Amino acid sequence: MSREEKQNEYKYLGNINSPADVKSLDESEILPLCDEIRDFLVKRVSENGGHLASNLGAVELSVAIHRNFDCPRDHVIFDVGHQSYIHKILTGRYKDFDSLRKNGGMSGFTKRSESEYDCFGAGHSSTSLSAGLGFAEADKLSGSDVYTVVVLGDGSYTGGMIHEALNNCRRDLKLIIILNENEMSISKNIGRFAKNLAKIRKKSGYFNAKRVTGKVVRKIPLLGKPLFSLMRRVKKYMKNALYGSNYFENLGLYYLGPADGNNYEDVDALIKEAKKAGESVIIHVKTKKGKGYEPAETNPGDYHGIRPASSPASDTSFSAEFGKALCEMAQSDEKICAITAAMSSGTGLDGFAHGYPDRFFDVGIAEEHAVTFASGLSANGYKPVCAIYSTFLQRSYDQIIHDAALQGLPMVLAIDRAGLNAADGATHHGIFDVAFLSQIPGVEIYAPVTYGGLRASLKKALDGDVVSAVRYPSGSQQQILKDTFYPNEDYENIRVRTDSYGKSDVLIVTHGRIASECLKAKKNLEVSGISAKVVLCEYIRPYTRLAIEIGNVIKETSPRAVLFVEEEIKAGGFGMMLSEQLRINGGLDGVKYHIAAPSDSFVIQTRKEHIYKSAGVDADSLASIAKELLK
């Protein structure tokens, strides 16, 4: 189907170029529009990849938001942002949707530089309410009457930042917090009484009667205000006695709901009431992940994030192999525990959770807590393994320093999705962990590139007495790396490995999966008559030991130039730390060297086939750098 045919595929959706077009629709046209959006999402995301289940559940909610608020004047902030596809579609980006998560295309999350309708960027969880509170306070200071709308899921609610922000919310702000519950209950509103109350609250007559009664009572001479206050206390006492207290109301916030978030009329009614309130409001809606698409409704986890249709499926991955290896090691060592921050499937720990439920801990979206919790386990004699994506490990930096490394408490940080990651963009690149871990005394860092190397690194880390990080990429192992550096399945020693013997003009020193680009660069150089050797570091830190091993390789090969290559940030990273230690040892005397790494900026969003090129560390770029060094 051509681009023009795709644009004309839908009666209503094809004519939406801004929120004004959404507002202009008749009420009878809203549900057909929602149906078209779901159909569009299923087709496009299945074809191009992205987050599907969460967006299917947020269709009516997103439409109601843009029908009731004046964006971009009013601020709409989505937590994480992976459920903002409908928001993007309704704010003039429908015709560009096929570029989602592609090189130079739309981000899979909200992004300030992409659209004026994305007032705050996202990618990580639990940041929305703190940001929204900042917007609302700024508007109050400037005398503005605009609304700030924060949309967050119950998963994000497990993150500590949400509660820190709630603790600072004031009633006198035009802040509307929409809590989208789609998996777990977070309030005690259960049973027939709660359901009937929620049903009553959805009707505008209830709110009107409530406001009128309050005004009449407060106008009674002398007794009005005390009587109104007494009525509110009695009402709260009766409600709490019948079905439990409400966390949000206990914080002093006006609470509306729960309501069926997939019923447009219900959501619309609550938003209208929230706007009338003139104060900070919590709207609690319950939605169904994958709504309207049976496979996603049945297995929302499988349809949370899906691959493009053209992506080849893999039988296994580093995450899966990590999970298998940890299960095997836990079978013979009852002290091994596994910890994840709401990512048991993503980190390959579902098998461990099933096989060793007493030693498996999912702490929710709370990476800081995960590391300090692991520190407590370690201090009391256990062997904790924290499996966390590199991009999310950033959140626990203080805890790694203060609660683990400073106290000499051994643990394993299993760092998944290390390095540059395609499609998800700048918020999800794993490019900072090497640099920030390299600054912490005593931390050891392993960088396996094969499944065998992963198992060997994990075993060594578990046997250690320090904080050990085992970092590995997304996806599966590359056969070229296995064939080149592990011809005999030699995984016993974690060490420096070379792809060949003898002297060379250029020595390329690297770690991780980017070694495959280094091998391609070597071939490019050889075509130009330049001999090269690739050195793969299976571990990174301690740099003192690594520098001795690399120094020995330099002596043996007598290169005219050394090229350090990494796919993480340059500042404080692998190349900078290793080259400095080599210079101290005299290992680089009389040898030119260069550090090839992504520039010290956030790498642009891109697809896998372009990722190294966009960062300037692809094979052609590396070969060009090496040639310049030899001039």
367 is catalytic: yes
Q: Which of 36, 273, 367, 538 is catalytic?
A: 367
- Before 448, cis peptide (omega within 30)? no
CB 418 within 8 Å of CB 456: no
- 50 membership: H or E segment, kind and range: strand 50-51
482 is catalytic: no
Query: Which tokens go with 178?
Result: 């929409």
How far apart (Å, rounded) are the C-alpha atoms in residues 40 and 30?
Answer: 15
Q: Which amino acid makes up residue 475?
A: G
CB 545 within 8 Å of CB 581: no
Cα 546 to the chain's mean position, in Å? 32
Q: Which of 202, 291, 395, 471 is catalytic?
A: 395
How far apart (Å, rounded) are the C-alpha atoms in residues 338 and 347?
Answer: 11
How far apart (Å, rounded) are the C-alpha atoms in residues 281 and 488?
Answer: 64
Place of tokens 């729960």: 258
Q: What one-character DSSP code corresponds to residue 600?
A: S
Helix, coil or strand: residue 306: strand
Query: Which tokens go with 361?
Result: 């801990």
How far apart (Å, rounded) are the C-alpha atoms in residues 515 and 534?
Answer: 8
289 is catalytic: yes
Place of tokens 């659209």: 115
Phi, psi at 251, each rounded to 5°: -85, 0
CB 376 within 8 Å of CB 339: no
Residue 471 β-bridge partners: 415
Q: Which of 67, 289, 541, 570 is catalytic?
A: 289
Q: Which amino acid makes up residue 300?
A: P
Helix, coil or strand: residue 118: coil
Place of tokens 């709370």: 366
What's the longest Cα–Cα distance across the chain?
A: 99
Q: Would you name the residues annotated as active-site residues?
A: 289, 367, 395
